[in-house]
Amino acid sequence: MPELPQSEVARPAAELSFLDPLAGWIRARGLQAPAAFVLEMHRPLMPMAFPAAVMAGTVVAPFFGPDYYEKIEALRDPAALDWMLNRLSGPQASGASKAQEKGTNR
């Protein structure tokens, strides 16, 4: 099966509610390069991420809110890592940056 280019990596539907704001938070602080480095460094551990998060849930779920188990569903899909890396390296989609671009193009 041919591998898709980074620009065509499909967006995982189930985890949009958690990954999209997280990617925006990282981009707003200019931490794309360190975040991409950490994500790539932990790629071999991805198969163990979801079971580990479920096991740790009894301890850490109270700190992440009642939807903790819905949030960690992103760890179940290996394509979520590729989507997040693609989102971090892609063009910025925030409204503030679009407003700044309009202001500089006058």
pTM for the model: 0.62
What digits encode the pLDDT tens for the residues 44-72? 988 898 999 999 999 999 998 888 888 88
Task: Give me the pLDDT at residue 78, please.
Answer: 80
What DSSP assignment string belongs to the chain?
-PPPPGGGPPPPSTTHHHHHHHHHHHHHTT-HHHHHHHHHHTGGGHHHHHHHHHHHHHHHHHHH-TTHHHHGGGGG-THHHHHHHHHHHS----HHHHHHHHHHT-
Q: Which residues of the chain have pLDDT under 50?
A: 1-2, 4-8, 94-104, 106
- What is the pLDDT at residue 35? 94
Mean pLDDT score across all residues of the chain: 76
